[in-house]
Structure 1
Amino acid sequence: MQTSNLNSSMPVFDAPLCQAPDAEIRSPKIAFPAGAVDCHAHVCGPASQFPYAKERIYTPPDATLEQYEHLLNMLGIDRAVLVQPSVYGTDNRAMLSALSLNPSKFRGVAVLDQNISDTELEQMHQLGVRGVRCNIVDVADKSAGLPIKALRELAQRIQPFGWHLELLMHANEFPDLEKTFENFPVDLVFGHFGYTHAKHGVQDKGFQGLLGLLRNAAAWVKMTGPYRIGDGDLPYADMRPFNEAVLLANPRRLIWGSDWPHVMVKKKMPHDADLCDLFGSWVSDPVLRKTILVDNPCILYDFPAIG
């Protein structure tokens, strides 16, 4: 745990620090197509300018826009989606500041306060926000199931902007997922393959419900964070069946992301070049790669088409 002098201008860190991303300068073997989008990354800090929420459960090392843009150049990725990290709660200033510096290159996914005004939503839209993230993982009491009424009300607020709802949730905890989200007002995006741990297997009812939504084009799935839901290190072999299942269900509703800076990873930190090459091994067809890396993100995040 890191603390600072009360007289210092630096913030006081009252939550444990997590490990930093691998800083080795190394490009992937795979060449991503022109216009490729990293659909899941976070900007954290600098903490002296954008202090973290007191109620956070971890403290990330600074992972700034400058560092991230350097990473994108190293990986050969042209565009990106910045997702509001939990350490900021509903304070979207760091993410919005990053969007404002290069609106043609970045889109954003925000976390909203329930009292946000339509004017503020419009301002976010102009800056490049195209979705809202809801964290179901950390809901204390899950006995009542998903807060579907609140999610529908939120969806109705963002529907006029054409935004989607991104859910961070363990799909395996909700076996009636497909029925629950039937006729939902906006597109749904599920992070980390539905965040179902590999030990539950692809036949898990919740994951099967997610596949049903995917087949019916009622949801999108982020092919992200295999290290979060599988055991062991690269190449995360126990996640391969989940990858194959979503590809079979509907490749036109899949997107990929690095999950940089890989906050709260408690096993060996993956190198982003290796994660790019892992995607290349999981999706070997170049046409399908372009669909997932370029075409699909253009639809979901309102990026201009390349060429």
Structure 2
Amino acid sequence: MKKKSCMAPDKNTKQPRYKAPLHACDAHCHVFGPHATFPYSEKATYWPPDAPKEDLKKMHDKLGIKRAVLVQASCHGTDNRAMIDAIQSSHGHYRGVCIADDTFSDDDFKYLNDNGVRGVRFNFVAHLGGAPDLEMMEKVIRQVTPLGWHLVIHVNAEDIIKYADFFAKFDLPIVVDHMGRVPTSKGVGQEAYQILLDFMKKENWWVKICGSERISAAGAPFYDAIPYAQGLVAVAPDRILWGTDYPHPNIKEHMPNDADLLDLVPLIAPDPELQQKILVDNPARLYGFED
């Protein structure tokens, strides 16, 4: 199968106007490869340009961020080695979210847990292969629940509607990637966004107010995504995470500069106490970061 390529990230990270608080966390970012060391999955729908741990750290240094949550992306499939390698070299500053299936043993999950992994992710979006096998997904969730892990779901707007009853079955923390990918072109009144707001009233639901560049119809600096993030923050300020999504796989047109994404934070949450929750306190609580 021919692999789809995708744009490389903007490596010329600008100096952000906003100064992130001490211990701020990028709660959604990736490491890709290097392919020669950590090959991409033959089942992946895309093979991105290499974006190794050194590039990620350079970007974070420019933003003034040390903590990060590395989210396993579908290009590496269930081979979590690149992510684990980056976590192991981070001096305790990184945590991880893996991709796994029902071939993983309890010992496999213990190894991941011992190496900083705190969640498991499932993709539902069509361009990454569509919904997983739900029976397999339930088996994996049963395995990781005793570890205190959480579930991360990468969904499109329509998936929130289609699988609402399925997601409602679980009591463990559920984290929604990229604001549910609700398109700003459909307005804040759209059904998918309203369903997401309703789910966020549940005490076990979290959401990442990242992916502004993915849901925006206006393009950089993605100000049309701000009301969507603000609505989610208003419903559940203690269960909001923020991330860059570096190196921004499968962006179709406008590759963001990560400084612009950080500069959205004070526009979404002008109150410094709320910024502290979103960038520091909430990820520290969910991922077990310690000062």
Taking structure 2 as the reference length, the TM-score comes to 0.93
Aligned to 2:47: 59
Contact 1:170–1:196 (Cα < 8 Å) also in 2: yes
State how many pairs are aligned. 290
Quick check: 1:128 aligned with 2:111? no
Match of 1:81 among 43, 49, 69: 69
| SS of residue paired to 1:131 | strand
Quick check: 1:91 aligned with 2:79? yes
CA deviation string 1:16-43 (max 9, x = no partner): 3322111224220111011110000000
CA deviation string 1:224-267 (max 9, x = no partner): 11111121312323322211210111111100000000111111
The alpha-carbon distance between structure 1 residues 65 and 235, as it changes in their structure 2 partners (threshold 3 A), is same
**Which deviates the most, 14-23 or 281-290?**
14-23
Contact 1:178–1:210 (Cα < 8 Å) also in 2: no
Quick check: 1:30 aligned with 2:26? no
Quick check: 1:166 aligned with 2:152? yes
**Paired residues for 1:80-159 under 5 Å:** 80-138=68-126, 149-159=135-145
> Aligned partners of 2:102, 2:172: CA distance in 1, in Å?
18
Quick check: 1:290 aligned with 2:291? no
Aligned to 2:245: 259
Match of 2:228 among 214, 218, 242: 242
Quick check: 1:279 aligned with 2:265? yes
1:215 Cα offset (Å)? 1.6
> Aligned partners of 1:25, 1:158: CA distance in 2, in Å?
36
Percent of paired sites with the same residue: 37
Aligned residue type for 2:79: D
Contact 2:99–2:121 (Cα < 8 Å) also in 1: yes
> Aligned partners of 1:174, 1:183: CA distance in 2, in Å?
14
Instruction: Tell me how large the CA RMSD over aligned residues is.
Output: 2.0
Aligned to 2:4: 16
| SS of residue paired to 2:27 | strand
Match of 1:195 among 181, 185, 192: 181
The alpha-carbon distance between structure 1 residues 297 and 140, as it changes in their structure 2 partners (threshold 3 A), is closer
> Aligned partners of 2:159, 2:112: CA distance in 1, in Å?
32
1:141 Cα offset (Å)? 6.9
The alpha-carbon distance between structure 1 residues 148 and 112, as it changes in their structure 2 partners (threshold 3 A), is closer
Larger radius of gyration: 1
| SS of residue paired to 1:68 | helix
Aligned to 2:195: 209
* Unmatched tracts of structure 2, length 5 or more: none
| SS of residue paired to 1:86 | coil
1:190 Cα offset (Å)? 0.3
